[in-house]
Chain A
Amino acid sequence: MAYTQTLGSTRYRFADLKTLLAKATPLRSGDCLAGIAAATAEERVAAQLALAELPLQTFLDEAVIPYEDDEVTRLIIDGHDAAAFVPVAHLTVGDFRNWLLGPQADERTLAALAAGLTPEMVAAVSKLMRVQDLIAVARKCRVITRFRDTIGLRGRLSTRLQPNHPTDDATGIAASILDGLLYGNGDAVIGINPATDNLAQVSELLVMLDAVIREYAIPTQSCVLTHVTTTIEAMARGVPVDLVFQSIAGTEAANASFGVSLALLDEAHQAALALGRGSIGDNVMYFETGQGSALSANAHHGVDQQTCEARAYAVARRFRPLLVNTVVGFIGPEYLYDGKQIIRAGLEDHFCGKLLGVPMGCDVCYTNHAEADQDDMDTLLTLFGVAGCSYIMGIPGADDIMLNYQTTSFHDALYLRQTQGLRPAPEFEDWLLANGILDAELRPADTLPPRFAPALARLN
Chain B
Amino acid sequence: MSEHKAPLVVDNPWTALRRYTDARIALGRAGVSLPTAAQLAFQLDHARARDAVHLPLDRAALLPRLQGCGLDLIELHSAAADRHVYLQRPDLGRRLDAASRARLDALAAPGCELAFVIADGLSARAVNEHAAAMLAAILPRLDGWRLGPLTLVEQGRVAIGDEIGAGLRADIVVVLIGERPGLSSPDSLGLYLTHAPRPGRSDAERNCISNVRPAGQSFAAAAHRLHHLLAESRRRGLSGVALKDDTELTTLASDCQGSFLLGVQGSDAG
Contacts and interface: CB of A to CB of B under 8 A. Distances in A.
A179 B46 contact: no
A401 interface: yes
B38 interface: yes
Contact of B263 (A179, A201, A215, A447): A215
A454 B269 CA distance: 12
Contact of B252 (A200, A395, A399): A200
Contacts of B261: 174, 177-178, 212, 215-216, 455
A169 B255 contact: yes
A176 B250 contact: no
A415 B33 contact: yes
B38 to A, nearest CB: 7
Contact of B46 (A32, A374, A395, A458): A374
Contact of A411 (B27, B49, B270): B27
Contact of B87 (A172, A198, A200, A333): A333
Contacts of A168: 251-253
A152 B129 CA distance: 49
Interface residues of B, number: 58
B23 to A, nearest CB: 4
Nearest to B184: A401
A456 B251 contact: no
A334 B185 contact: no
Contact of B259 (A212, A395, A460): A212
A176 B46 contact: no
B251 A195 contact: yes
B256 to A, nearest CB: 8
Nearest to B31: A418
Contact of A171 (B180, B181, B257): B257
B182 A205 contact: no
A368 B183 contact: yes
13 contacts: A168-B251, A171-B20, A174-B259, A174-B261, A175-B14, A177-B261, A204-B252, A215-B266, A334-B89, A368-B53, A368-B181, A395-B23, A401-B23
A29 B180 contact: no
A454 B268 contact: yes
A456 B16 contact: yes
Interface of B: 10, 12-14, 16-18, 20-27, 29, 32-34, 38, 42-43, 45-46, 49-50, 52-53, 87-91, 122, 180-186, 250-255, 257-263, 266, 268-270
Contact of B89 (A33, A415, A456): A33
A334 B92 CA distance: 12
A284 to B, nearest CB: 24
Contact of A175 (B23, B251, B268): B23
Contact of A373 (B38, B46, B88, B252): B46
Given A396-B23, A443-B32, A368 B180 contact: yes
Contact of B10 (A211, A215, A446): A446
Nearest to B93: A334
Contacts of B258: 170-171
B250 A198 contact: yes
B259 A208 contact: yes
Given A175-B17, A404-B180, A368 B49 contact: yes
Nearest to A209: B259
Nearest to A175: B17
A176 B21 contact: yes
Contacts of B29: 411, 414, 444
A57 to B, nearest CB: 37
